[in-house]
Chains A and B, each alone.
Chain A
Amino acid sequence: MSSDTVVARFEIPYRGCLASDGTLCGPLPAFASDPELLRHLYRVMVRARVFDTKAVNLQRTGKLGTYPSCLGHEATHVAVGSAMRAEDVLFTVYREVGTKFWRGVDMLDILLYWGGDERGTNYRRTPHDFPFCVPIGSQMPHAAGAALAFQIRGEARCALAFIGDGGTSQGAFYEALNLAGAKKLPLVCVIVNNRWAISVPVSAQTAAQTLAQKAIAAGIPAVQVDGNDVLIVREAVGEALERARAGGGPSVVETLTYRLSDHTTSDDATRYRSAAEVEAAQRVEPIGRMRAFLTARGFWDEAAELALRRECSEAVEAAVKQYLATPKQSTDTMFDYLYAQLPTGLRAQREDARRFAALRP
């Protein structure tokens, strides 16, 4: 081999389908022939946004703890949920309300979790899904482990892990992708590139041109898509899941979106980014373009929109009412889920907590 031989060469394709005005900028996926599916994708996106707006308001009025808004991420989140099968297992970060909704997690659960109650992690309809993962990137090895379990048992199931742009700087991200590549695991990783890791922009996070290309070092195929386009995200993630399910190994999908909100309700994004940038991102947000697309095709109209908004508001209000009426757990629950059986040495502490709980008004 001569010394100027190129031994490897890689490319990261970009894909889009819906332009920001709802017109087509790429071929329509096959599933787009089903108007009811298209309408449902839109409905769950709106549902996520209505819920999100209410959750932020609840925090502002002291009725919810710190909450990380999903504003602007709805297309990516809902598309991923819709591409997965019920028996697949989901590993989220902490913002993926739309994905959880698609997988049957109740609004009440999400309110309970951010309202300081562990019962909010009790996903009755997808009992294998992991709860929100707060330590950045640490969900990735869990997803790889679940995928390894599916492979060992010969099950046609996939693990799907979300990670953010900041998360791709973590060792756990590389470690998990490396394992998935080496063992050809049924794992799909969706990198939600919303451009900001709290105050750090992607340009300060990495010198890589794309986050998708980080998969190349692990020998994993990767694609970058418009994360505000629910159709292309569903198509790309769906293809990745089917490939994984068929034994074709892991994939990485980077979805380009934008965090229109503060990082969490404790953050003030005006300290680190310009209003002009946010306004520009607002013009390409995901919900408006999908509505325009549906309307142009004759699948949606003003009456349907009004009915949907009313239905979402009612569902949110009902969930909030239930959340606010949920009594807090007993202090016993601090102890009762540490182990399958309470170690005898902890009984005295459990009693102590009970005694002081009884003294509180």
Chain B
Amino acid sequence: MVEAINMAHAWEMARDPSVVVLGEDVGTNGGVFRATAGLQQRFGKERVQDTPLAEGLIAGAAIGMAAQGLKPVAEIQFMGFIYPALDQIASHMARLRNRTRGRLTCPLVLRMPHGGGIHAPEHHSESLEALLCHHPGLRVICPSSPARAYGLLLASIRDPDPVIFLEPVRLYRFAKQEVPDDGQALPIGRCFVLREGSDLTLVTWGAMTVDSLKAADQMAAEGVSCEVIDVGTLAPIDFDTILDSVAKTGRLLIVHEAVRTAGLGAEIAAVVAEQALYDLEGPIRRVTGYDTIMPLYRLEHDYIPGVPRIVDGIRTTLAD
């Protein structure tokens, strides 16, 4: 998937001279995950800028650049380091269009690795999407395959508003797929129905999509038909696709890697309860990360919901 992300950068930089890349180690080094490898050699040091080591600065400078008509694509090295940038994201990035009644805008992409599962050190495995989804004015996007990473990143760079682009680290190397380098963007703000089914709706995003599809395969062998929805755009979220699916299946299981309490799954459950209670044949369930600190890596797969926990969640949801 990391190659698809790199390809999308290169395509859009070649197409649009206002696209500039900035971040820590993105230039000479090509990014710690190689997402920006080769871009500085191809497009020059003006358009691919190594920045000082300061996340708040990266987010804040990107705002200034975007308001001046550039299209910054900035990298935060790991999502666990986003906290110093939250002031800029929440106080300025999300609000600039609104507070100036559209006079100044912030067309930029802030990319960052998301989630765990690669034996990384402390603070390198966080899933903090709920912090960002709570800020109107932002789009929050999390792809679940190389093709969707390519198409959604292109769409994000072309979007007139700020986009936080979360890249599941487990999929960087693990997810392999031939992706045509054709510059075709995918729609933002729409869920992807990856597998149709009739017994249960499984809503997920990011790396958990891969495990959820495996769990659905396993259940299919037992004659259970799961509809698997990859939310894709976490904010603003496309509830219509989820509600339509629940109307069909009558059962809802939400799977996410992030901490459970006040996670995005809670919001999805609330909306379905508000708008589709009478479509439901049983309680909504969640399979999520625990309400714990993301553990160091020996326990990370005990924290991240794997296929067995998802299968158990499907069975429990169907049993009620």
Residues of A that sit less than 8 Å from B by CB: 89, 91, 118-119, 121-123, 127-128, 130-131, 135, 138, 140-153, 159, 171-172, 175-176, 178-179, 182-183, 333, 337-340, 343-346
Contact = CB atoms under 8 A, between A and B. Distances in A.
B59 interface: yes
Contacts of A151: 46
A337 B98 contact: yes
Contacts of B70: 149, 152-153
A118 B101 contact: yes
B103 A142 contact: no
Interface stretch (B86-94, B193-201, B215-223): B86-94
Nearest to B57: A175
B20 A135 contact: no
9 contacts: A122-B100, A135-B91, A138-B87, A141-B64, A141-B88, A149-B69, A179-B52, A179-B61, A345-B236
A179 B98 CA distance: 28
A142 B101 contact: no
B236 A140 contact: no
Interface in B42-62: 46-47, 49, 51-52, 54, 56-57, 59-62
Contact of B97 (A122, A138, A339): A339
Interface stretch (B109-117, B147-155, B174-182, B237-245): B237-245
A145 B66 CA distance: 8
Nearest to B85: A141
B150 to A, nearest CB: 23
Contacts of B137: 338-339
B231 to A, nearest CB: 12
A176 B20 CA distance: 18
A131 B99 contact: yes
Given A118-B100, A141-B60, A148-B49, A89 B68 contact: yes
B23 to A, nearest CB: 13
Interface residues of B, number: 48
Nearest to A340: B160
Contacts of B125: none
Query: Which residue among B61, B105, B137 has the maximum number of chain A CB atoms within 10 Å of its CB?
Result: B61
Contacts of A145: 60-68, 72
Given A138-B87, A345-B236, A337 B63 contact: no
A149 B72 CA distance: 10
B189 interface: yes
B308 interface: no
Given A343-B189, A345-B238, A148 B101 contact: no
Contacts of A345: 236-239
A130 B70 CA distance: 16
Contacts of A122: 100-101, 103
A140 B51 CA distance: 15
Given A144-B60, A145-B64, A149-B65, A175 B54 contact: yes
Given A149-B64, A150-B68, A141 B57 contact: yes
B92 to A, nearest CB: 6
Contact of A144 (B64, B66, B97, B238): B64
A56 B69 CA distance: 37
Central interface residue in B64, B99, B161, B189, by most chain A CB within 10 Å: B64
A256 B98 CA distance: 35
Interface string B233-259: 000111110000000000000000000
A146 B57 contact: no
A340 B63 CA distance: 16
Given A131-B100, A178-B54, A146 B67 contact: yes
A139 to B, nearest CB: 8
B64 A142 contact: yes
**Residue of A89, A147, A153 with most chain B CB atoms under a 10 A cut-off:** A153
A172 B61 contact: no
A140 B60 contact: yes
Nearest to A342: B236
A121 B102 CA distance: 10
Given A145-B62, A179-B51, A172 B57 contact: yes
B99 A142 contact: no
Nearest to B100: A121
Contacts of A131: 99-100, 104
A176 B57 CA distance: 6
Contacts of A179: 51-52, 54, 57, 61
A135 B98 contact: no
Contacts of A340: 97, 105, 159-161
Contacts of B69: 149
B89 to A, nearest CB: 11
B60 A333 contact: no
Nearest to A181: B52
Given A152-B70, A337-B98, A339-B161, A144 B103 contact: no
A131 B56 CA distance: 19
B93 to A, nearest CB: 10
Nearest to B233: A343
A131 B237 CA distance: 30
Contact of B60 (A118, A142, A152, A159): A142
